């Protein structure tokens, strides 16, 4: 992995600072109990204290950031991270930014702003899936990031082909997640479950078939 410098970390650090700043600014204005979860119809069905709300998200981003920093150094294939360092950091920063977006939406909803939280959060998660899928093909074989089936981890060729297909699946599923709140509930659930099944079953099966074909050569 490349050396850690301010140039490589400034985006992630800015996102974390923005999250902490938002939490600090909003805390005095939040009610004692805040909404923390919304169902598919956009109705609140979960609550938490404002203390937990204000601490949890900034802490989560810090823990995620540290996790992303540590992973390349404890992975048995640590030398591979240098081959996709820019993509690795982009995926890290995108994940942190989406979490900041979710925290921002939840915070402003609890400050009495009229927001369709379910639709916005679904859009954010869908965007993350699309971003991830777009760069899946550039991830090199490792033990932490990507589609880690027994067969993709055993072969560079299988890994690459699995991630190219998996990236397309993720992008389509991300689009499905983004539009789901605007569809009929049953149609949305069919799309989401079908996409999940395609990712879990389809990609694993594809990876297995590629591996078997490679072994027969």
pLDDT in tens, 83-97: 999 999 999 999 999
Same domain, 125 and 64: no
Same domain, 134 and 199: yes
Same domain, 100 and 126: no
pLDDT for residue 204: 95
If pLDDT is split at 50, 70 and 90, which confidence band does 201 have? very high
Per-residue pLDDT tens over the stretch 101-124: 999 999 999 999 999 999 999 999
If pLDDT is split at 50, 70 and 90, which confidence band does 1 have? low
d(CA 124, CA 106): 13
Same domain, 10 and 28: yes
Domain span at 66: 1-111
Same domain, 46 and 80: yes
Question: Sign of torsion, CA 146 150 155 159?
Answer: negative
Which pTM value belongs to this model? Answer: 0.92
pLDDT for residue 43: 86
pLDDT for residue 91: 96
């Amino acid at each position: 992995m490349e050396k850690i410098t301010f140039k490589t970390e400034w985006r992630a650090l800015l996102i974390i600072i923005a999250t902490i700043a938002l939490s600090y600014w909003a805390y005095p204005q939040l009610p004692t109990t805040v909404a923390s979860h919304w169902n598919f119809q956009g109705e609140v069905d979960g609550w938490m204290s404002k203390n937990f709300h204000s601490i949890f998200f900034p802490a989560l981003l810090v823990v995620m950031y540290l996790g992303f920093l540590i992973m390349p150094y404890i992975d048995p294939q640590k030398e591979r991270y240098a081959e996709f360092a820019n993509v690795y950091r982009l995926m890290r920063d995108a994940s942190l930014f989406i979490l900041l977006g979710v925290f921002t939406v939840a915070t402003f909803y609890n400050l009495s702003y009229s927001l369709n939280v379910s639709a916005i959060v679904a859009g954010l998660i869908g965007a993350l899936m699309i971003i991830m899928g777009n760069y899946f093909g550039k991830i090199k074989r490792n033990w932490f990031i990507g589609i880690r089936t027994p067969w993709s981890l055993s072969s560079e060729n299988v890994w690459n082909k699995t991630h190219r297909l998996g990236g397309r699946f993720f992008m389509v599923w991300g689009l499905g997640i983004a539009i789901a709140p605007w569809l009929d509930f049953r149609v949305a659930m069919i799309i989401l479950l079908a996409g999940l099944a395609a990712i879990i079953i389809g990609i694993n099966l594809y990876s297995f078939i590629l591996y078997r074909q490679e072994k027969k050569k």
